[in-house]
Amino acid sequence: MPLPVPVLPDGVDPAWLPPAAFEAIGRRRTLIRGSGLLVDTVHGEVAEACARFGGSVVRDASPEPCDLVLDVSGTDDGEAFTLKRAEGRTTVTASGRHGLLHGLFHLVRLGEEAFRGERAAHTHRPAVALRVLDHWDNVAVHPVMGQVERGYSGGSLFWRDGRARGDLERVRVYARLLAACGINAVTVNNVNVHATEARLLTERIGDVARIAEAFRPYGIRTHLSVSFAAPILLGGLDTADPLDHGVRRWWERATAEVYAAIPDFGGYLVKADSEGQPGPFAYGRSHADGANLLAAALAPYGGTVRWRAFVYDHRQDWRDRSTDRARAAYDHFVPLDGEFAANAVLQVKHGPMDFQVREPVSPLLGAMPGTRLAVEMQATQEYTGQQRHACWLGPMWSEALRFRPEGTDPVGGLSDGLVAVSNAGADPFWTGHPLAQSNLYTFGRLAWDPGADPLAILDDWIGLTFGPDPAEGVRAVLAGSWRTYEKYTAPLGVGFMVQPGHHYGPSVDGYEYSPWGTYHFADRDGIGVDRSVATGTGYAGQYAKPWAEVYESPASCPDELLLFFHHVPYGHVLHSGKTVIQHIYDTHFEGVEEVEEAREVWGSLGQSVDPERHARVTERFAEQLRCAREWRDQINSYFLRKSGVPDERGRALY
């Protein structure tokens, strides 16, 4: 039986799945072979497209020749599919049902192209098995963080007034969008697990089960963030010690109940001993002990625990120059390599700090060959413009995924999971800034194929979302937007310089000399953090060769990371030939000019973009430009005053 396609609620944007995207399929005569929920989903999609565009679809056998055959040979949920075209017929063959769904959305992307000429058989399979969006959604509105921690897209898609939303049709629509870009799992609550959210694991598991049901027809498995202290908070035990027998029994029982409610439950996500969350350190146990406790409870059901490596001291004394937040994850976790259970995955932020616009790749990735690793990105733009600025992150993620720690595959190939903190919410455009949809889409496609060209993915997104007319303009606005953002914000890898707490807008010393860390050490003579082995914190030595050597010396360190690794005088000459101080001035002028240009290009697209989307982006550009100018003026005047070096081009620096 075809499963009806979820109905887009009134006023909600279809994003990259507008009805027109299904025209090529909807004009064909299609045969679908196979059975099971996901095949019914595919059938429903094709049936709706045919009803709209005049084609037809039959199941299992066709008396007449078909233009399109969607065939699933096995009964498992394998994700690969083979596409070919011969003798006027396009065929997708999948060994498992999930592959058929991916094959369908691949055809959607190809459009008419899928039905032209001949096409040799080509098998597509995801490079990474676990492709997840983590939602930092609170069930109840948090007094400081609101409904969604670091959320810039309205309320939660799942939760309202302390419960799962009554009508989950929009979650079904969301599941469909995620499946169409390759995502296969979601975590439905914040990693900072507050009291109400902790109860999702036990008494409120029914709410989670309803959400899981909404995701299931699109092959997306549900995961839950849990509190390490759950045995105390929920079970009334007096300890959460991972080696305690009662604690183990408690997790086993709780997990059995979870699987009774959600048989295809994906697993747990844990933030432990981090920014105030409870963890195994309280009992003198290691993080491997902690992760393995939950892994053991999940193992009988095939579940996975994702254990975050974001563990650092957020109560630092800056006068202690040996403490370096960048070192923390490596120092904590590398000694534990080989100790994690087979179904435990260590989830590592792609950089050593915290999703800044420019960071080196975390040295942990590549240093734990005996541990399964997942790489965590941040689609929600906490430090990259908070979805008020256009900032397409595809090139940044792609650079990180292609980075090769010496002697290994690229980071993308090493990973057992790719994870993004979601940027979606109840906003009618899903992502606040309509152009931020490109980040969600790009993440999904890169998770499927970390080696893919991000610009080709951007073009796919533009084609599906906008159609051909404004394509060139939208590409011009987005393609370089990450580097533009970098130009007008913190320079050369120092990061932060944001307003404390909410992290929007410039504050050069906002976090400097704070307990959270110190990031630029600017004084009258120079700027940057010495992380060399010879004279600094030793962080550069956490990399294998050649990177340890490349980063150790200012002479070989890439310009864009210079101030992350070295403290240099303002007159230090970059590989570009400019001094550091002149680079700061120039990039801040350029960044603002580039925003002005992008805004103009967007303004010229009024005839080819629908009016609401056009108006929303126009309004966001006004704010982006205001904010970029503020960044330029604050940064330039700060460094003029600190260094006393004037702009060689004589511009006013405020």
Q: Which residues of this chain interact with ligand GCV, rule CB under 6 A?
A: 136, 149-150, 191-192, 271, 275, 310, 354, 382
Instruction: Establish whether 382 is a catalytic residue.
Output: yes
> Is there a catalytic annotation at residue 264?
no
Rank residues 13 and 324 by Cβ distance to ligand GCV and give the closer one.
324
In angstroms, give the least distance from the CB of 386 to ligand GCV.
Answer: 12
Q: Which of 48, 137, 273, 382 is catalytic?
A: 382
Q: Give the residue with the Cβ less far from ligand GCV, 495 or 541.
A: 495
In the bound state, the residue with its beta carbon closest to ligand GCV is 192
Distance, in Å, from the CA atom of 360 to the CA atom of 559, rounded to the nearest integer, reads 12
Terminal C-alpha separation, the chain: 68
Quick one: 247 or 364, whose CB is closer to ligand GCV?
Answer: 364
User: What are the tokens at 643?
Assistant: 């260094």
Q: Residue 592 corresponds to which tokens in the numbers above?
A: 């603002």
Q: Which is nearer to ligand GCV, 149 or 460 (CB)?
A: 149
**Cross-strand pairs, 52:** none
The residue behind tokens 């017929």 is 89
Pick 354 or 530: Cβ nearer ligand GCV = 354
Query: What φ, ψ does residue 507 adopt, rounded to 5°?
Result: -155, 100
Shortest distance in whole angstroms from residue 432 CB to ligand GCV:
17
Query: Residue 429 has which token pair?
Result: 């455009």
| CB 393 to ligand GCV: min, Å | 16
In 505-593, the DSSP E strands lie at 526-527, 568-569
In the numeric block, the tokens 């906002």 are attached to 510
Give the residue from 561, 540, 555, 566 showing the smallest Cα distance to 493. Answer: 561
Closest to 77 (Cα-Cα) out of 221, 181, 258:
221
Q: How far is the CB of 271 from ligand GCV (least distance, A)?
A: 5
Distances (CA, A) of 399 to 59, 412, 446: 44, 10, 11
Shortest approach of ligand GCV to residue 411 CB, angstroms? 19
Residue 466 tokens read as: 């906008």
Q: Which is nearer to ligand GCV, 273 or 530 (CB)?
A: 273
Sign for the CA dihedral angle at 488, 493, 497, 498 comes to positive
Give me the DSSP letters along 402-427. H---TTS--HHHH-SEEEEE----SS
Structure tokens, 581: 């101080």
Return d(Cα 224, Cα 174) in angstroms, integer: 18
Q: Which of 76, 238, 275, 600 is catalytic?
A: 275
Smallest separation (angstroms) from ligand GCV to the CB of 389: 17
Is residue 320 part of the annotated active site? The answer reads no
Catalytic residue among 354, 359, 530, 594: 354
Smallest gap from residue 102 Cβ to ligand GCV (A): 29
- Reading the block at residue 575, the tokens are 């590989």
Which residues, in sequence order, are bridge partners of residue 137?
A: 148
Residues in Cβ contact with 319 at an 8 Å cutoff, skipping those fewer than 6 apart: none
Closer residue to ligand GCV, CB minimum distance, 138 or 292: 138
Which residues are known to be catalytic? 275, 354, 382
